[in-house]
Amino acid sequence: MTSLEPRPPYTSEELEKLYPSRLQLKLVQVILRHGERTPVSARFQDEGVPAYWPYCKSAAHFRSAVLNASPGAAKFTQLAFRRLIEANGENGAAVVVRGPHGTADDICLLGELTDKGRTTTLELGERLQALYGDRLGFLPKDLSDPSQFYFRASPILRSLTSLQQVLVGMYPDPPPHPPITILARSPPAENLFPNEVNCRRFSQLARQFATLACNKWNNHEDMEYLQSRIGKYLSPEHPRIAIDGHPRLSGIMDTVNSTLAHGPDVRLPAEFYEPRVREIMNRINVDEWFRGYIQSSEYRKLGSGSLLGNFRDRMVQSAKGESPLRIALYGSHDTTLAALLSTLGAFDGQWPPYTSSIAFELFQDTKPDSAAPPPAAEKNSWTSWFGYGLTPTTTAAQLHNHYVRLRYNDAPLTLPQCKPIGKHLPGDESFCTLAAFKEIVDKIAPADWHAECLKNLDKDGIPPVELVE
Pick the catalytic residue from 34, 333, 400, 424: 34
- Residue 418: which of 381, 469, 372 has the closest Cα? 469
- Residue 162: which of 190, 124, 193, 121 has the closest Cα? 121
State phi, psi for 135 to the nearest 5 degrees: -95, -40
CA distance 244 to 246: 7
Pick the catalytic residue from 105, 334, 400, 424: 334
CA 10 and chain centroid, separation: 23
Preceding amide of 178 cis, omega within 30? yes
Active site residue 34: yes
Active site residue 101: no
What amino acid positions are annotated as catalytic residues?
34, 334
